[in-house]
Amino acid sequence: MTPAIRSRGWLALPYLTVYLLVFVAPLLYFFVISFWRVRLFRLMPDASLANYAKTLEAHSVSLIFTFEIAFTIAVIVTTLAFVFAYVVRFKAGRYGTPLLFVVLIALFGGYLTKIYVWKTILGQAGVINSALGLLGIVNEPITFLLYNPVAVVITLSHYTLPLAILPIYGALRSIEDMPLRAARDLGASRFRVVWDVVLPQCRVGILIAFSLCLIFAAGDFVTPLLIGGPYTSMIGKLIQLQFGFHGDAAMGSAMAFTVIGICLVVIFMVGTLIFTVFRVR
């Protein structure tokens, strides 16, 4: 046992490395495959960038579209999550913990259920159309609510919000109260306190929240499939086709790792932005 003996941390390292390998190795395997080729429906070892070249060539429109959507979702959700987490942390007092529990439960209240909730609300026979019909505003059900990018944004935002709340709340929880008071005492307005003291201290939490939303939204294929309609051709759907219908795991891997690569680039840029805007002066 003897916890908290700092100098012995490395003893646990080999053990954890094994754990991580078992856990990460499958993904690494896929990364290797992405440089292979498929011949006669069999994977052949290779070290070619052809799959990546083809991804960028054939799917650039879809990639751009995917990241427009994913970026929008990530920005909206991170903002909403910050506001919610801020209120829970600094305003809700002892109601904070139960509220967070609700968030945690809702976190996986069911992926599928959430998708169909929005499908039903936005659909032809859904809540909005029924309401509009009863009020006599429209004669026929309006159809443009569903099967478009906006529906995807709403659905995925609803799904990823709890994911984004948790890391931001975690960061906010480790911010102490008293320095906020000190800032007020030194003449800062409420807004300045948030800007000067709170935000710079939870930059990492905000970036994690943003990253989670972005990665999840960019990689998802179920929501566009069920709710996005024919013109919402996000890359997730295409990756799934590649693995499933075409059975080309090499190409599919290359596409998946292209998405991951772009995610990392976007995260890096947004991270730089966050760290510059909320820098300490």
Partner 1 sequence: MGHPLVRLDGVSKAYGKIVAVHPLTLDIFRGDFVAVLGPSGCGKTTLLNMLAGFVLPDSGRIEIDGRDVSHVGPDRRPTNMVFQGYALFPHMTVRQNIAYGLRIRNYPKQEIDERVGEMVDLVHLGGLERRAVTEISGGQQQRVALARALIMRPDVLLLDEPLAALDLKLRNSMQQELRRIHQSIGGTFVFVTHDQNEAMGLANRIAVMRDGLLVQEGSPEEIYSTPRTQFVSNFIGEANVLPGRRTSGVVVLDAGTAFPSKGSDGTVATVVRPEAMSLTKLDGAPIEDGKVVMQGTVRDAVFLGSRMKYVVEVPGNAITVYTPPSGRSDRFAMDNKVDVVWNMVDQRVLDTE
Q: Which residues bind partner 1 (CB under 8 A)?
A: 2, 7, 176, 178-179, 181-189, 192, 196-197, 200-201, 280-281
Cβ–Cβ < 8 Å for 120, 126:
yes
Nearer to partner 1, 60 or 189 (CB): 189
Closest CA to 52 of 250, 263, 238: 250
Per CB under 8 A, does 37 bind a second copy? no
Region near a second copy per CB under 8 A, out of 49-57, 110-118, 143-151, 273-281: 110-118
Number of H helices, E strands in the chain: 14, 2
Q: Which two tokens stand for residue 148?
A: 């478009």
Helices (H), 124-248: 127-134, 149-173, 178-185, 190-193, 199-201, 203-219, 222-227, 235-243
Return the one option of partner 1, a second copy, none that residue 201 interacts with (CB less than 5 to 8 A, by type).
partner 1
Q: Looking at 42, 134, 230, 276, which residue binds a second copy (CB under 8 A)? A: 42
- Footprint (CB under 8 A) of a second copy, residues 194-233: 208, 211-212, 215-216, 219-222, 226
> Does 260 participate in binding a second copy (rule CB under 8 A)?
yes
Question: What residues contact residue 135 under an 8 Å CB cut-off, 6+ apart?
Answer: none
Sign of the alpha-carbon torsion through 117, 119, 121, 126: negative
What x-and-dash track marks residues 228-257 binding a second copy by CB under 8 A? --------x--xx--xx----x--xx--x-
259 binds, among a second copy, partner 1, none (CB under 5 to 8 A by kind): a second copy
